[in-house]
């Protein structure tokens, strides 16, 4: 079996669902179930014996060690992380604890397990660490996209904590020989995305008749990667990646935030037109920019294509339409996730910025 950490979060849950849809190999899914973890995302696996869910922390070395041994895990895919920049600005401590200390404890549990393996089991074992393009810092409008050789220049508590975790993974390979792989991805979007992030927030606020908050001038540029493409890239790296290597995963879709919002509004105008005949773009509201907001991210994913033959299947236009349609078709999931603590956080963060 494989062990997936953070498998009830956005990218992790999509990975688990895709893995079990096309693979007979079972998954132990370890997730702490913080605010962004949602078991409803995994409801279709409730009676599937291939999926074993365990609520727990990657920092619990004893628990991780027991799971590795009990299920004779042959690979670990580490999605577990605190991942929202705004939250890291308000409370960086949780990000250091999960992304740095948690990754350290996970690596130590995995190292002890791997050291005890023998023969083919030891040779075939893999630890794949999922990271972000934000560790590279920011780009100007004319800079080349981030490649794997770019130096790390993180600008937020979130990206700094992820950069630290990447360095730990690298060090455990070079010092102890642990067979690791690292992926650094661009901005993901798609089904089951927690609605504090730009795309789901805009979709849900638009449908609810609420303001669509745009930071600053809205010209921050991101490379957008459809989550199912990301999942296929991770499977490819896990199966074929060279040990100790880093692979950047991008969608080749650079878009300014404001253009993304206008695209969503245009799709909603077609799929769910407003009764009064106005366009959703009229709900756009500009709010004060966040501190240290990186201007541009862009990923050069040519290494992954050149060495392993992977490239994304979705364009931004096809992926964003699928995403909007998914949210329209899955209002029960949306209602479940947008209750209680989430609404309170939105009010705290955006309520005084408009």
Tell me: pLDDT of 336 over 70: yes
In percent, the amount of the chain with pLDDT more than 90 equals 84
Q: Tell how far CA 94 is from the center of its chain.
A: 17
| Residue 343 pLDDT class (50, 70, 90 cuts) | low
Residue 248 domain flag: yes
DSSP string, 154-193: --SHHHHHHHHHHHHHHHHHHHH---EEEEEE-EEESTT-
- Flag whether 203 is in a domain: no
**Cβ–Cβ contacts within 10 Å for residue 60, how many?**
17
Q: Which helix (H) or strand (E) holds 244?
A: none
122 domain residue, yes or no: yes
- Could you list the beta-strand ranges (E) of the chain: 2-5, 27-31, 51-55, 75-78, 126-132, 180-185, 187-189, 212-215, 221-226, 246-249, 254-256, 284-287
Could you tell me what percentage of the chain is helix, strand and coil, using 3-state DSSP and rounding each to the nearest 5? 50, 15, 35
**Considering 82, 86, 133, 196, which one is annotated as catalytic?**
133
Q: Using CA atoms, how far apart are residues 97 and 158, in angstroms rounded to an integer? A: 11
Neighbours of 217 (CB within 10 A): 11
In angstroms, rounded to a whole number, what is the distance separating the alpha carbons of residues 292 and 198? 17
The Cα–Cα gap between 131 and 103 comes to 12
Say if strands 246-249 and 212-215 run parallel, antiparallel, or are unpaired. Answer: unpaired
What pLDDT was estimated at residue 350?
54
Q: What is the mean pLDDT of residues 23-43?
A: 89
H or E stretch covering 27: strand 27-31
134 an active-site residue?
yes
DSSP state of 134: G
* Tokens encoding 195: 């609605």
Count: domains in the chain: 1
CATH number at residue 99: 3.40.50.720
Catalytic residue among 113, 136, 158, 189: 158
Distance between CA atoms of residues 18 and 260, nearest Å: 26
133 is catalytic: yes
Domain range spanning residue 307? 2-190+225-252+296-313
Annotated active-site residue in 134, 223, 254, 294: 134
Per the annotation, the verdict on 18 as an active-site residue is no
Q: Which two tokens stand for residue 187?
A: 């901005």
CA of residue 334 relative to chain centroid, distance: 18
| Residue 342 confidence class, pLDDT cut points 50, 70, 90 | very low
State the average pLDDT over residues 98-127: 98
Q: Is residue 218 part of a domain?
A: no
Evaluate whether residue 56 is within a structural domain: yes
User: Does residue 353 have a pLDDT over 50?
Assistant: no
What distances in angstroms separate CA 164 from CA 57, 210, 249, 293, one per listed residue?
18, 38, 19, 20
Distance CA 331, CA 58 (A): 31
Q: What is the pLDDT of residues 255-310, one digit of tens each?
A: 999 999 999 999 999 999 999 999 999 999 999 887 878 899 999 999 999 999 99
Give the whole-angstrom CA distance, residue 157 versus residue 163. 10
Q: Decide if 121 contacts 74 (C-beta within 8 A).
A: yes
* Residue 230 lies inside a defined structural domain of this protein: yes
Query: Comparing 257 with 336, which gets the higher pLDDT?
Result: 257
Nearest to 133 by CA among 224, 16, 197: 224
Cα end-to-end span (Å), the chain: 49
Assess contact for 40 and 333: CB atoms under 8 A. yes
Q: Give the per-residue pLDDT at 354.
A: 41
**CA 48 and chain centroid, separation:** 24
Residue 130 lies in a domain: yes
Beta-bridged to residue 181, according to DSSP, are 128
Structure tokens at 313: 């299947």
Quick check: is 163 in a domain? yes
Tokens of 204: 């849900």
């Amino acid at each position: 079996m494989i062990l997936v950490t953070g498998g009830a979060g956005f990218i992790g849950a999509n990975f688990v669902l895709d893995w079990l849809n096309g693979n007979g190999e079972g998954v132990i899914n370890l997730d702490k179930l913080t605010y962004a973890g949602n078991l409803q995302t995994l409801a279709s696996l409730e009676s599937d014996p291939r999926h074993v869910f365990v609520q727990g922390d990657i920092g619990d070395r004893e628990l991780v060690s027991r799971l590795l041994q009990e299920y004779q895990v042959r690979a670990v895919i580490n999605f577990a992380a605190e991942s929202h920049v705004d939250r890291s600005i308000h409370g960086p401590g949780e990000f250091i604890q999960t992304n740095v200390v948690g990754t350290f404890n996970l690596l130590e549990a995995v190292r002890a397990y791997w050291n005890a393996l023998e023969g083919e089991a030891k040779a075939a074992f893999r630890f794949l660490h999922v990271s972000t393009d934000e560790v590279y810092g920011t780009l100007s409008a004319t800079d080349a996209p981030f490649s794997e050789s770019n130096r790390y220049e993180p600008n937020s508590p979130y990206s700094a904590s992820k950069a630290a975790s990447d360095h730990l993974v690298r060090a455990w390979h070079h010092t102890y020989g642990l067979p690791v792989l690292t992926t650094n991805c661009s901005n993901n979007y798609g089904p089951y995305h927690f609605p504090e992030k730009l795309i789901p927030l805009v979709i849900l606020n638009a449908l609810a008749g609420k303001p669509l908050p745009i930071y600053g001038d809205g010209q921050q540029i991101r490379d957008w990667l459809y989550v199912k493409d990301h999942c296929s890239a991770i499977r490819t790296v896990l199966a074929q990646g060279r040990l100790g290597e880093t692979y950047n995963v991008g969608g080749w879709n650079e878009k300014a935030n404001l253009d993304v919002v206008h695209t969503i509004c245009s799709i909603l105008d077609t799929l769910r037109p407003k009764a009064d005949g106005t366009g959703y773009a009229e709900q756009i509201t500009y709010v004060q920019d966040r501190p240290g907001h990186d201007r541009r991210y862009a990923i050069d994913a040519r290494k992954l294509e050149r060495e392993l033959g992977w490239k994304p299947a979705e364009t931004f236009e096809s992926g964003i339409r699928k995403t909007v349609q998914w949210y329209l078709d899955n209002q029960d999931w949306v209602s479940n996730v947008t209750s209680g603590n989430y609404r309170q956080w939105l009010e705290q963060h955006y309520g005084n910025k408009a």
